[in-house]
Structure 1
Amino acid sequence: MTDSNAALNAFFKDFAQNLGRLQKGADVIAGIRDSDVDVGSTPKRLIQRRDKVELFRYEPEVEQRIDTPVLIVYGLIGRYTMADLQPDRSLVRSLLAKGLDLWLIDWGQPGRNERWLTIDDYVDDYIDEAVERICRETGHEKITLLGICEGGVFTTCYTALHKERVRNLVLTITPVDFHADVDDPAAHHGFLNVWTRSLAPEDIDRMVDALGVIPGEFMSSIFSLMTPMRSLTKYNVDLVDIIDDKDKMMNFLRMEKWLADRPDHPGAAGRQWLRELYQENRLFEGKFELSGRVVDLGEIDVPVLNIFALDDHIIPPTCSKALAAKVGSSDYTEIPLPGGHVGLFVSSKSQGALTKSIADWLQARDG
């Protein structure tokens, strides 16, 4: 057989195999309904609702082993379902399996009606009310706060201003020094910081004044542009590789569902987030004010666990590690984990380490 005939035979063999995979993949996709792509499915009970903000308590899965209740606070930029993406890759389920009494704030889907809400409202009103209700329901005087990303900034501010209600503060992928990426040795770290600092303040004002919100679709496009090759190839390369594997296809679709469910960010809070924190770095500089009070990180004297992702291009590790120089606690722990901003929560490898780190740290400080 000539070389050309061998190459032709190999081509047709590969073509037939790929055609078979695509046909099987079509059958897989045809059998999946939107209702099958379930995210945030861990059972929970609604405790209170105010405006669009809801407080939930997760149903226990094992006997409670850690006494202090834990409140998960996600940010306004995304949805909390990243922490409960699917049963086998869920921080929520994993923590429940460790015996935690787990609570959650769901910010809902803000719109133009929430255009005037500020970070002051979210920290000093909604979070404070949730903490008070948890204490009333459980009989505790203090709780543990578990903040994720922007939610970590909220819980950091709350602890600084209301430390009498906080027993422990756990932070994950949380920015504190929004300018620390300038000296970060990794070139791919801090894309979001660089882009945000490049915005003209008046353009931020125009967007918020005109729309009342920072649109979720707008932020989705920005995040996609930060990893352009990943965004370009996930539908025509990654998807083709898994198209005939239903389990992997479901994982892919759950992630896409979470990405598509990005809420609008309330305008006034967004203005603070972009201008006062990202551009002016007021939190780290000790100039950030909420409800007329300066947020002094030195006032945080409760135990603090600060977890960050080593390959996080959205919140670079240096932006999180900066808390160590400012916090007033003598019980401060840093844990770097492999993975990126989202991978820390959805990767089977890093997620197991994340759960163990949090549960072990809390267990050592319980009671």
Structure 2
Amino acid sequence: MTQSPPTFAVQPPPTKPHRQLDQWVQSRLSEAAMGLSPISLALAQADWLWHLAAAPGRQLELAQKALELSAQALRNSSAHEPAHDADPRFAEPEWQQWPFKAWRETFRVLDDWWREAAQVEGMNRHHQHLLGFFARQGVDALAPSNWPLSNPVVLKSGLQSGGQTWIKGSQQFLQDAAAMRRAQPSTPAEDLEPLPYPVGEKVAVTPGQVIYRNRLIEVIQYRPSTPEVHPEPLLIVPSCIMKYYILDLSPENSLVRYLVAQGFTVCIISWHNPDASDRALGMQDYLRLGVMEALAAVQRSTAAERVHTLGYCLGGTFLAIVAAALGRRQADRILPTGQQRRRADALYDQLPALASVTLLAAQTDFSEPGELGVFIDDDQLQTLRTSMARTGYLSGKQMAGSFQFLNSRDLIWSRNTRRYLLGQDEIGNDMMSWNADVTRLPERMHSEYLSSLFLNNALAAGHYRVEGRGVALVDIQAPLFVVGTVRDHISPWRSVYKIHLLTDTPITFVLAAGGHNAGIVSEPGRPRRSYQIATTVPADGWIEPDAWAAQAPLLEGSWWEAYRDWLQARSGPKQAPPVIPAELQVCEAPGLYVKERYAD
């Protein structure tokens, strides 16, 4: 049985004329500030200037620091040192030659001095974070490796190739610029550049069946590849800011395929890629229509009384909220009265018990969100609301640009150097193709998410509400498997680790090598992979994250294997796999929603 996804026409509320004027002015200012709030940036700069002006001692200290660093740069420029530099931007031996070595050392002095100068006592903590971040961004933009005349590797390759690398780099720049001009928001999906790894052909190819669809999600149940499976299915809740197939890339590095091969019935949510008609979808819809209805669909299809669950990134945050709400219901049956109670009862009664909860790079305490916090304050949120009010959604390009900005050295400057100055072709892979398959977020949901969780940290404080009732993570009753990654710019592992402070259930914590994506997609056999793992119970008390990292054993290989063992220890004996009822078979995997693409 094949269904077309339902469509809904939601008109934005009328805007008063004076508010339209405000939005127009704020939009122009935001465009001039590359999508950021100029007010927020100006306040941070003013905070720094005023505190620095009132601290003559700090000014003298910075002046002395500048002299010391300059003297150090002169010494380093003439000193002999190993040919290989630890900074990959300056790793080639050509950087040991004059004047390039002097330029490199001057840049390092500037970088070190600005890192020190951005720290002034008395500043607002967020302003200090904001100023330090943008100071580093500005200095990174000035690196001599980014410019053709100050990069000896660029000059050498151009001369040796008779200028061919420069010509090729220029052609690639013009091609990319033309592609950006062609990709207008109104460009139909069929006219977009095809993905290097087509969905359903090279990625997202694990066989399965869509067993449920509503306006927000499709639920895919994968076919078993073993004669017997554990009785508890596993529902995966990926982040809605990414296509689900980050966990089902090519067959050799698909977490979905790996778990299916280990004897688990695996199901996954595929989120609808929203448009303007979805602007009114909020956080409660993502919890109810998303996670809860997916759990109910898995229960209907498998008849399982208990379900393992796994959430990745924002999907993990959603899952933690739902797990807390289900744990609260088990402990206390009191729900709102009247019609709301009847609706809640009707859905809750269809939900299975949670056998376990796994959170991959998912924050539940947002008091220290890392570099992502740079983009989130009241002024930045107002700028985002103004932008989303025009479209009804946050575009995928805006999100992708923010994530690139967090690691601009590697994702912007180093890439530009390789592609435009050295004329090198990009070596594509399935993850890069997935990264280009951007998704949107509805206006209301994104605003509520940032306001309630990032700005007010409502979940950690016990103020977040589901179905009108406050929830707290301490109500989660299922055992937890939590993964953080060492180089995560989006969900810093120490922030992820704070779930130890918020729950009262055994936690197996894993600290994996890699970043937010590569540390999770870490299949067995991949070289240079390692992880630390340890289990704590409430009676152990609080162990600080750095103390945990100092004592947890370090293991070589993939954490997937440890996760398989952990799941199997909490699962029943294997039995014949469940058969999907004919009336639940909507269409073949990967379904329709994962193929929804927009130019923005």
Match of 1:117 in 2: 281
Match of 1:202 in 2: 382
Deviations 1:227-262 (A, max 9, x none): 11212323653898985xxxx94xx24223211211
Deviation, 1:218, is: 0.4
- Which of residues 558, 565, 576 in structure 2 aligns to 1:360? 565
Instruction: Return 5+ residue gaps in structure 1 as ranges.
Output: 1-9, 23-31, 182-189
TM (normalized to structure 1)?
Answer: 0.82
Cα root mean square deviation, aligned: 2.9
Match of 1:28 in 2: none
Alignment of 1:101 onto 2:265:
yes
Alignment of 1:43 onto 2:207:
yes
Match of 1:234 in 2: 415
CA distance in 1, matches of 2:390, 2:452: 20
Distance 1:234 1:58, change over 3 A: farther
Alignment of 1:302 onto 2:507:
no
Match of 2:498 in 1: 322
Deviations 1:119-140 (A, max 9, x none): 1112123321221121122121
Deviation, 1:33, is: 6.6
Deviation, 1:288, is: 1.3
Counterpart of 1:233, as a letter, is S
| Matched residue SS, 1:308 | strand
The answer to which of 205-214 and 137-146 deviates more is: 205-214
Are the equivalent residues in 2 in contact too, given 1:47–1:55 (CA < 8 A)?
A: yes
| Matched residue SS, 2:401 | helix
CA distance in 2, matches of 1:227, 1:161: 35
Runs of 4+ with deviation above 6 angstroms: 10-14, 238-242
Aligned residues with identical type, % of pairs: 26
| Matched residue SS, 1:104 | strand
Match of 1:166 in 2: 354
Deviations 1:13-55 (A, max 9, x none): 9749x99xx9xxxxxxxxx976498322222211121124211
Alignment of 1:264 onto 2:440:
yes
Match of 1:84 in 2: 248
Are the equivalent residues in 1 in contact too, given 2:214–2:289 (CA < 8 A)?
A: no
Deviation, 1:141, is: 1.6
Are the equivalent residues in 2 in contact too, given 1:60–1:101 (CA < 8 A)?
A: yes
Counterpart of 2:482, as a letter, is N
Are the equivalent residues in 2 in contact too, given 1:145–1:169 (CA < 8 A)?
A: yes
Alignment of 1:317-356 (within 5 A): 317-329=493-505, 331-347=506-522, 348-349=526-527, 350=529, 353-356=558-561
| Matched residue SS, 1:258 | helix
Q: Which has the higher strand share?
A: 1
- Which of residues 230, 246, 267 in structure 2 aligns to 1:66? 230
Deviations 1:317-352 (A, max 9, x none): 1211111111122x2211111110011133435496
TM (normalized to structure 2)?
Answer: 0.51
Deviations 1:82-130 (A, max 9, x none): 1122222211122122121100110121111211111111212332122
Are the equivalent residues in 1 in contact too, given 2:215–2:272 (CA < 8 A)?
A: no
Are the equivalent residues in 2 in contact too, given 1:217–1:262 (CA < 8 A)?
A: yes
Match of 1:7 in 2: none
Q: Which has the larger radius of gyration?
A: 2
How many residues in Structure 1 have an aligned counterpart in Structure 2?
332
CA distance in 2, matches of 1:64, 1:273: 41
CA distance in 1, matches of 2:520, 2:360: 10
CA distance in 2, matches of 1:117, 1:131: 19
Instruction: Return 5+ residue gaps in structure 2 as ranges.
Output: 1-155, 169-194, 331-352, 531-556, 573-600
Alignment of 1:193 onto 2:376:
no
CA distance in 2, matches of 1:172, 1:342: 10
